[in-house]
A and B are shown apart, each in its own frame.
Chain A
Amino acid sequence: MNNFAVIERLEEFTFEKVKYYSIRFHENEDEANEFYDFLTRMEDISEITSDLDNLLLWIEEIGKHHGAKKERFFRHEAKGGEASALPPSSRIMELYEIVVEEKLRLYCMVANENVVFLFNGGIKTTRYPQDCPNVGPYFKQANNLTKKIDKLFQEKSIRWNDDFTDINFDSSLIIEL
């Protein structure tokens, strides 16, 4: 992994209520950002096909109609962790009558109800994400990225637009890890 990253706007996930972004660890635009890497690695795993499809629908639906309400539509994965995760707990998903079978996790940062950074993830096999060989590194990475991005907001390297519905940043902005 490189020790720097760039922010990439996800044009296919730019909706009225939520604009989604991801992180790319490569200068080369022909390399996948973290979210697309996650989708590409997960798309053919038959055990989680339904969960992955529901996850994508969830991301789209809250993006189109509801906004990224952190307490209701996301999960706080572990104590001490800065990042959020998707999908929300099965208790919440049951509220929407959506059955979550496996422990698919996508780590993310909810900047506000209108801007969300989607990172990477996988299938969680242990109670605590930090103990899991699959998602542990991504959980750690998401927490690290969340702290760095938060700092970039504070330094105004990432700036809110007038109505806080989107962000602006220089295309040359680099996140040093």
Chain B
Amino acid sequence: MKKDFKGVVSRIRSRIKPENRAYIKKNLAISEQIIFILKQKGWSQKDFAEQLGKETSEVSKWLSGLHNITLQSITKMESVFGEDIITTPLEACEKYKQIQYVVFKVYAKPNEINSEPSPEYSENVTLGEHYNYSKAS
């Protein structure tokens, strides 16, 4: 009998263990963050190896996944990068609460500028004043 294709996605999704889903999600997020930071810094694998005090071949293995991305490895990379690869929600809440936002109004047609400032114009708006992290998350 021909199998029902319409339920196939639900059938496969329902058999996937939540921890497998979380594992792939986290691994992709961490690896993408490492690659993003390398790109942002304009570092090649050779530069990265020098910073880590390792052979390029070893780092190449590391980046190719032959070396597991353990917490110890992540911490070592974070210290070389000088920035976090992983930020916990509590750390994120603390970090982003302190960001100061300045809102500028941009006029597309300079000849039609309204001399009155618009009511939404504001300066040095603190995120915390407008945004409750715990409610939004």
Contact = CB atoms under 8 A, between A and B. Distances in A.
Contacts, number: 70
Contact of A61 (B6, B15, B28, B65): B28
Interface in A90-113: 91-98
Contacts of B66: 94
Interface stretch (A33-41, A120-128, A136-144, A157-165): A33-41
Interface residues of B, number: 28
Contact of A97 (B5, B32, B65): B65
B85 to A, nearest CB: 14
Contacts of A156: none
B100 interface: no
Give the secondary structure class of A's interface.
Answer: helix
Interface stretch (A49-57, A146-154, A168-176): A49-57
A54 B12 CA distance: 10
Interface residues on A, range: 20 to 34
Nearest to A95: B65
Interface in B30-45: 31-32, 35
B16 A56 contact: yes
A58 B27 CA distance: 11
B8 A94 contact: no
**Residue of B9, B29, B31 ringed by the most chain A CB atoms within 10 A:** B9
A56 B24 CA distance: 11
Interface of B: 3-6, 8-9, 11-13, 15-16, 20-21, 23-25, 27-29, 31-32, 35, 63-66, 68-69
B9 A57 contact: no
B5 A94 contact: no
A93 B27 CA distance: 10
9 contacts: A12-B9, A32-B5, A40-B5, A53-B20, A56-B16, A91-B64, A92-B65, A94-B66, A95-B64
Nearest to A52: B12
A58 B32 CA distance: 14
Q: Which 9 A-B pairs have the closest CB atoms?
A: A94-B65, A95-B65, A32-B5, A36-B5, A96-B27, A40-B5, A39-B8, A57-B24, A12-B9
A62 interface: yes
Contacts of B6: 36
B13 A95 contact: no
Given A13-B9, A72-B35, 17 more contacts: A36-B6, A36-B9, A43-B11, A43-B12, A49-B15, A54-B20, A56-B12, A61-B24, A61-B25, A62-B28, A65-B28, A94-B65, A95-B63, A96-B27, A96-B65, A97-B23, A97-B27
